[in-house]
Amino acid sequence: KKKIAVMTSGGDSPGMNSVVRAVVRTAIHFGCDPYCVYDGYEGLVQGGHMIKRFHWQDVRNWLSQGGTLIGTQRCASFFERSGRMIAAKNMVLNGIDALIICGGDGSLTGADKFRSEWPSLLQELVASNELTEQQVAPYQHLNIVGMVGSIDNDMSGTDVTIGCYSALDRICQMVDYIEATATSHARAFVIEVMGRHCGWLALMAGVATGADFIFIPEKPRQDDWREEMCNLVKCHRDLGKRKTIVIMAEGAHDRQGNKISSEMVKDILADKDGLALDTRITTLGHVQRGGSAVAYDRVLGTLQGVEAVRAVLEATPETETCFIAITENQIVRRPLMKAVLDTKEVAKAVRAQDFERAMALRDTEFAE
Ligand code: ADP
């Protein structure tokens, strides 16, 4: 009987509980024993009660709950080979055959490193008498499948990451709340949303709420952004709009790479010699991560969780390590490391202001 473990790692995102539920129940459906690893790689390193056998009813009512009920942590020791060695030992001691990891590109990078080192980790464990040849014999290949949980929608090779539509929905709700009071007082609001390297949330929220102006990392503003913004806001006000909404991604900057902060934008809108708008700043912060997942993320987490278990069961030692993506509305398996490397290249290209390259990489079609 195969033992399949699932974990959530890195930043939490709504829909992760749907993933865990789907993996647990699909594993049982296919006659396997599901396990959950608590707190991401930290649980794998700690072992013991952090790796727990799960049953059908253990994930009851998980679809509607936000965050991740099996916890997530950043784990410093997993960056070290020594930490990964302890993790390997705990996997073998618990008889885990396969690991499904739901996290961001960092977590999936760690997963790929773990898998590539696996045979040498086992050899070292045997050489140092931590495990015997007999103990490691059944576990020569580490079967790993990745899934992408991220509110930023910042992963290459997939159209949507689990959690981004919930975060977007939350942002839109909050902007709607703010709009009511903004209109009442004819105020301007600068609303800061998450997104250091990826402006998807800010861009989509801007479209969905009819914001007056947005700032995203992928479109650093020209030197005259102050005039551009003020002209546009004035134009909207002249047309009778009583409120002004500016949406800022955290990673907003100008073409020189200087950060554009909410304070700067506020000061410009409030300038007595300019528009002189009564302007407030709202930083949405962690409400963007909270609350229950929207239907889309529940469905995506569920369908991808089912596919992840299938991928585990169909894998052979020759199979390339994959993650589960969605492209053109199809749930598909994609090579894991290519997506991770492309994602890192995108971040680099955005920092270097090479946006054409960034966009091409983000949309990369997997040629094969
Ligand atoms: P995310 O998965 O959301 O991108 P992080 O980048 O914080 O989040 O990664 C989560 C965890 O994954 C880290 O705390 C660490 O334990 C593991 N990890 C990330 N990158 C690596 C790496 N290069 N090598 C080994 N482990 C890694």
Reported as a single tens digit per residue, the pLDDT across 90-103 is: 999 999 999 999 99
pLDDT value of residue 348: 87
| Residue 46 vs residues 71, 78, 223, 251: alpha-carbon distances, Å | 14, 11, 51, 35
What span, in angstroms and rounded, lies between the C-alpha atoms of 127 and 76?
Answer: 25
Q: How many residues does the chain have?
A: 368
From 7, 9, 45, 336, the mutation candidate for ligand 1 (largest count of ligand atoms within 8 A of CB) is 9
pLDDT value of residue 197: 87
CA of 321 to the centre of ligand 1 (A): 17
pLDDT value of residue 363: 65
Contact by Cβ (8 Å): 143, 101: no
From 7, 19, 74, the mutation candidate for ligand 1 (largest count of ligand atoms within 8 A of CB) is 74
pLDDT value of residue 235: 97
pLDDT value of residue 32: 98
For the whole model, what pTM was predicted? 0.95
CA of 109 to the centre of ligand 1 (A): 7
Check the annotation: does 195 bind a ligand.
Answer: yes
pLDDT value of residue 358: 81
What span, in angstroms and rounded, lies between the C-alpha atoms of 105 and 110?
Answer: 9
Check the annotation: does 194 bind a ligand.
Answer: yes
Query: Which sequence positions are flagged as catalytic?
Result: 152
Check the annotation: does 159 bind a ligand.
Answer: no
Give exposure, 66-104, as e/b (b: 16+ Cβ within 10 Å): bbbbbbbeebeebeeeebbbbbbbbbbebebbbbbbbbb
Measured in degrees and rounded to the nearest 5, phi and psi for residue 139 equal: -120, 45
What span, in angstroms and rounded, lies between the C-alpha atoms of 206 and 152?
Answer: 15
Q: Which residues of the chain have pLDDT under 70?
A: 363-368
pLDDT value of residue 231: 97
Other beta carbons less than 10 A from residue 296's beta carbon: 17
What span, in angstroms and rounded, lies between the C-alpha atoms of 168 and 166?
Answer: 5
* ipTM for the predicted complex: 0.98
pLDDT value of residue 367: 39
Which residue has the least CA distance to atom 27 on ligand 1? 110
